Chain A
Amino acid sequence: MTSSESTDVLVVGSGFGGAIAAYHLAAGGARVVVLERGPWLNGEDFQHDFNFGASSTRIFDFVIGDGMSVLSGNCVGGGSVVYFAAMPRAPRFVFERTGGLGRRMWPAAISRESLEPWYDRVAEALPVTRQTWDTVPFAGGLFGAVCDHAGRTANPVPVALDQARCTNCNWMMSGCRFDAKRSLLLNYLPAALSYGAQIRPLHEVQHLSRTEDGGYRVHYSVLDDVDYRVQVDSGTIDAKLVVLAAGAGATPVILQRSEPTLGPMPNAVGRYFSGNGERLNTAIFDEDRIRDVLGLSRPDGVPYQAYQIGKGPCVASWDRLDGSLPEYERFSLEQLYFPPGFGTILAQVPDTVGPTWFGAEKKEILRSWQSWLTIFTMSEDDNEGVFGPPPETGNAIRLSQQMLGRGPLRYDPTENTRRGWALSDAEVRDILERDGLSRVMPWTNDVVGAYTVHPLASCRIGDDPRTSALDDRHELRDHPGIFVTDGSAVPGALTVNPAMTIAALAERAVPGIVRAARERGVDVTYGAPAPDGGTSSRDAVLPLVSGLLGR
């Protein structure tokens, strides 16, 4: 019989949910081990290269499901390394949504107001700052100008970005070479390491079992660092408490696979998945109209031709984030960049009788790629995603050495979801096609189904045990000592980029996790400052949690 390693707290995943929990628990004195299924890259490891095997495929996962494909991070730092660093807070009405439940989806304890101090913690830690128009790239400026021309408003979005370091290279999805993007590699994770936390890359957790002392044994595989289909080792670690933060596409799969050893899971594990209501439209602009109608011109005299230049989404239109509108009819629109490959295959040819996503006419629209603008809709879907039986390992059958896999998620959009998409398509077209500025088509859902870069809600918090897997402290129902702090805990679509809310919920969950750890005999306290030592947001939340900690 092989002996198992042991630790106080085992964290699965090193994205926002995992890194934030790991930092606070390590800083509070707990022994923390983080298992991350992806590789560990930093700074100069991030390449400007689309070649297979470059950082762009090492750190990214694209899992094709039945009706929904999910893009997500696969590296130390998780989504924060591959995302575009847009960090808006979710609008107030989101927390009042009822979805298909006929009752409030969110726990009674959580509202925009009650979450603000936890948003503030994240804002101080990363940090998150407001953008100004003078740092908005051409694409964001163009979107702002067309919104204004159509009588809409548009805002530069808050971002976790060091503008002074940014080169506007638009390689953010491959990781930031210049350390301009304030990913978790620059704050929570190094701070966690400084307090003794261990991070082990290429460790893919497969399932959990119980130990005799009421804790958990975490069973993992070690993956080859080039071909993730190959397992080179395996092992177990015993922990008094487990924080699951493998991402909304993986956390429920680990729990489903653990049912034979842990016993039945709550009904909501692997159900109620939300793709954040995401939808993309591509506008192909007429450069002359940009100059003549909008009066825009770059310093070199070219009106636009700058799709490649920038830093992801920088400007959003929030006119439809109106709480008085009916549910499923509210959405934000955000200017976005998608690199070639993913960003082109689903774009459709306007006004054609032939095939829309491939063929001779598709090639013709690619010739004007630099005049494209991608508009990203985040709307209210119906939590209609369901995970089927888990694959043998991981969360997908890996098809390629890296990145591409086939997963068990099934998503059949309801009429509510489709209505929101149709309304947003019409709004995008109304704004962007005015006065012959551009021609617009939505991305097709006929190739890889719908798609999301913001998977949510597959193991969600709530007050109703039938429709939520976690209580309002993020503890898994019927399985005390397992907490879930990633995007799977978010109850539903947020109508904006979710990273800020995922992170704020993780911050909010930490005091409860600390208390649970203490009850399990771990010598740990709550109250660490921001990773850089800042204390203002910490001091603001301490009065909120003193009772919770009972000290």
Chain B
Amino acid sequence: MPGEMDADQARTMALEAYADTILPGEKRWPGDRAVAGVSQGGGAVASGALEVLRSAEGGMAPALDALADALNEHARQYAAEAGIELDHDVPPFVSLDYPNRVRLVQRLTGRTHPEREAWISVAMFSTIAFDAAAHTHTVEALAAGHPGLTTIGFRPPDSDGLWRFDSYSYGRQLARPHPHTTPSGSPA
């Protein structure tokens, strides 16, 4: 474990690195170690993955310390098996490069891994941070340029914060109906 980093920092970095493995982003600052920097634009971490994971509503918060510690332990074992030398300035999972982080996440979420449900849950919360900004109001997230919602191109609402699409249809018949359609419009 890194000498100058307290346990909370180490756990945060490990969980950030996990979220960044699920939907990666660009480094937040030069020297950002948790975010691997393999993708342009913000990823799950910049989108609020840690806020979602720590939210009271989500229910994951009480388990996070144990999960972060377990993640680092899994990374230590993985590195030992693979003959990877860890950088002790950062937590073990953070020390792995992106391809190795991916391989370890695949192992942890694999069909037979005893902890798969927990790791899939962390992945789900990372995903909903990115493309739903579940920790904040959608209108505010969009206005603030939320990385995930911006990446997927989620369109903004009207000025009252509600979505309406005046233009929505090609407006013409585009296929023949099934020949046995009943008068109610159902299949026969």
Chain A nearest CB: distance from B127 CB in Å?
4
The answer, yes or no, to whether A367 is at the interface (CB within 8 Å) is yes
Q: Which of B110-163 contact A (CB under 8 A)?
A: 111, 117, 120-121, 123-124, 127-128, 130-139, 148-149, 151-155, 157, 161-163
Q: Is the CB of B137 within 8 A of A51?
A: yes
Q: Is the CB of A91 within 8 A of B55?
A: no
Find the A residue at minimum CB distance from B59: A400
Find the A residue at minimum CB distance from B181: A155
Interface string of B154-188 (1 = CB under 8 A from A): 11010001111101111111111111011011111
Residues of B within 8 A of A465 (CB): none
Residues of B within 8 A of A292 (CB): none
With contact pairs A88-B187, A360-B39 given, residues A309 and B23 touching in the complex (Cβ less than 8 Å): no
Residues of A within 8 A of B184 (CB): 89, 119, 123, 128, 130, 158
User: Which of B3-11, B75-83, B101-109 lines the interface with chain A?
Assistant: B101-109
The answer, yes or no, to whether A138 is at the interface (CB within 8 Å) is yes
Residues of B within 8 A of A50 (CB): 128, 132-134, 138
Residues of A within 8 A of B173 (CB): 133, 144
Report the bound CA distance from A454 to B127 in whole Å. 24
Q: Is the CB of A340 within 8 A of B187?
A: no
Interface residues of chain A: helix, strand, loop or mixed (majority): loop
The answer, yes or no, to whether B91 is at the interface (CB within 8 Å) is no
Find the B residue at minimum CB distance from A49: B138
Q: Is the CB of A153 within 8 A of B179?
A: yes
Chain B nearest CB: distance from A315 CB in Å?
7
Chain A nearest CB: distance from B133 CB in Å?
6
Report the bound CA distance from A361 to B114 in whole Å. 27
Cβ contact of A134, chosen from B22, B39, B98, B172, cutoff 8 A? B172
Q: Which of A345-365 contact B (CB under 8 A)?
A: 345, 354-355, 358-360, 362-364
Interface residues of chain B: helix, strand, loop or mixed (majority): loop
Cβ contact of A366, chosen from B105, B117, B151, B179, cutoff 8 A? B151
Chain B nearest CB: distance from A161 CB in Å?
13
Chain A interface residue count, Cβ-Cβ cutoff 8 angstroms: 89
Q: Is the CB of A345 within 8 A of B57?
A: no
Report the bound CA distance from A229 to B182 in whole Å. 46
The answer, yes or no, to whether A135 is at the interface (CB within 8 Å) is yes
Other than A50-B133, A308-B154, A360-B39, give 12 A-B pairs with Cβ distance below 8 A. A89-B186, A91-B186, A155-B177, A167-B162, A168-B165, A169-B162, A317-B178, A341-B128, A345-B123, A358-B21, A358-B123, A367-B151
Q: Can you list 17 residue pairs at the A/B interface with Cβ under 8 Å? A: A51-B138, A88-B185, A90-B187, A153-B176, A154-B178, A157-B185, A169-B163, A177-B162, A306-B168, A308-B154, A341-B127, A358-B105, A363-B23, A366-B151, A367-B152, A367-B153, A446-B111
